[in-house]
């Protein structure tokens, strides 16, 4: 049986009307599905009666000089992946059907959660994410929605929005899936050459150096960050954008590691922007 594919909110809503008595799991994506996405899909399938995946390359979350036009798009491959995984329906809306225009109502998360980390250099990014995720949650009305922990800032902001706006959905964060080298799976990894992928392994390796210090009872975040920086310096091809230790919920910087904290990083290899993070304690 072919996987049902819907391109408008009304089509999907009509399909879901007869399934509202079942538990619904939802995995919102931008497509170019990889093993990380598949782990979210598998969990949604296991924990719910009905599992829905959306694919929407959200133009609101891309800046003027970012990679919207060249972002990987492989709908037919993604459809096969979803069908093989046992997904019940695929939602692939167009920008028009999602109401993307200059007068679209925007969802604005707390500014303090958007000002640091990726938000410092991606103005408007998380407002665009918040707006579309809010629309998707309202369209699908799932019991549970699944997001990768690799996008830790996004996950924290979505959790805050859901709490503040009283959305009746559980936001499930799923562990980052990694290649054998430690490189986090990402759709943007497709941009990297084999050499670039090899060099990008330094990202996770460098984060682990901070955890090793924390295991030795080091709580000074400056020293933990210095250990990461030292490790990164062994791969000059990596261009650091930011490195920070913050509270996992509020995303505010912390000085001492008194509680588990988010160690987050972003940078470029071969002009491809990569992010990663770990929780250190």
Q: How far is CA 29 from CA 116, 126, 151, in A?
A: 23, 15, 12
Closest listed residue to residue 156, CA positions, set 193, 126, 192, 128 = 126
Beta strand 261-269 with 272-280 is antiparallel
CA distance 278 to 208: 8
Q: What is the pLDDT along the chain (281 residues), one digit of tens a residue?
A: 589 999 999 999 999 999 999 999 999 999 999 999 999 999 999 999 999 999 999 999 999 889 999 999 999 999 999 999 999 999 999 999 999 988 899 999 999 999 999 999 999 999 999 999 999 999 999 999 999 999 999 999 999 999 999 999 999 999 999 999 999 999 999 999 999 999 999 999 999 999 999 999 999 999 999 999 999 999 999 999 999 999 999 999 999 999 999 999 999 999 999 999 999 99
Domains located in the chain, CATH noted: 5-174 (3.40.50.620), 187-273 (3.30.1300.10)
CB 167 within 8 A of CB 137: yes
Does the reported pTM lie above 0.85? Answer: yes
Report in angstroms the alpha-carbon separations of 225 from 10, 222, 241, 255, 273.
49, 5, 14, 11, 20
Residue 205 a catalytic site member: no
Tokens 């996008």 correspond to: 151
Catalytic residue among 34, 37, 125, 185: 37
């Amino acid at each position: 049986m072919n996987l049902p594919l819907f391109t408008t909110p009304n089509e999907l809503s009509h399909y879901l009307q007869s399934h509202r008595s079942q538990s619904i799991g939802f995995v919102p994506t931008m497509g170019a599905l990889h093993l990380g996405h598949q782990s979210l899909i598998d969990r949604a399938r296991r924990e719910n009666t009905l599992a829905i995946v959306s694919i929407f390359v959200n133009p609101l979350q891309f800046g003027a000089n970012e990679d919207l036009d060249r972002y990987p798009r492989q709908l037919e491959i993604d459809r096969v992946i979803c069908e093989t995984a046992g997904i019940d329906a695929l939602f692939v809306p167009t920008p028009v059907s999602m109401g993307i225009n200059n007068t679209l109502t925007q969802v604005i998360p707390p500014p303090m959660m958007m000002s640091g980390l990726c938000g410092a250099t991606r103005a408007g990014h998380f407002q665009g994410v918040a707006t579309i995720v809010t629309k998707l949650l309202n369209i699908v009305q799932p019991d549970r929605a699944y997001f990768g922990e690799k996008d830790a800032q996004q996950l924290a902001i979505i959790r805050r929005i859901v709490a503040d706006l009283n959305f009746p959905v559980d936001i499930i964060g799923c562990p980052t899936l990694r290649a054998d080298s430690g490189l986090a799976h990402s759709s943007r990894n497709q941009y990297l050459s084999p050499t670039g992928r090899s060099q990008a392994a330094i990202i996770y390796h460098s984060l682990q150096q901070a955890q090793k210090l924390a295991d030795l009872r080091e709580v000074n975040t400056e020293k933990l960050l210095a250990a990461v920086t030292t490790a990164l310096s062994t791969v000059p091809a990596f261009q650091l954008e930011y490195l920070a230790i913050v509270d996992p919920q509020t995303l505010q910087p912390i000085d001492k590691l008194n509680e588990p904290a988010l160690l987050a990083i972003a940078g470029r290899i071969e002009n491809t922007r990569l992010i990663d993070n770990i929780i250190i304690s």
